[in-house]
Amino acid sequence: MSDKVSEKRAKKPNAAASLGPNAEIGRKLKQYYESLIAEEVPDRFAQLLSRLDSAEAKLEKD
């Protein structure tokens, strides 16, 4: 039974290969996105988000 599964996997084209030139674009976009996720939020932006949360909470109380 495992031989049949292996044969099916061997017959399926690699997802990256089936995309052709788009595979490289996708890989680079994924790499860029992952680098953005790894970066910390700048202090100024975090402060602005905190102020926004406080202002929204104040509006909800009123």
Provide CB contacts within 8 A for 16, sequence distance 6+: 23, 26, 27
- For the chain, which residues score pLDDT lower than 70? 1-17
Q: Quick one: how far is CA 35 from the chain centroid?
A: 10
pLDDT at 41: 86
Tokens of 20: 């052709």
Q: Give the domain ranges of the chain.
A: 2-61
pLDDT at 9: 54
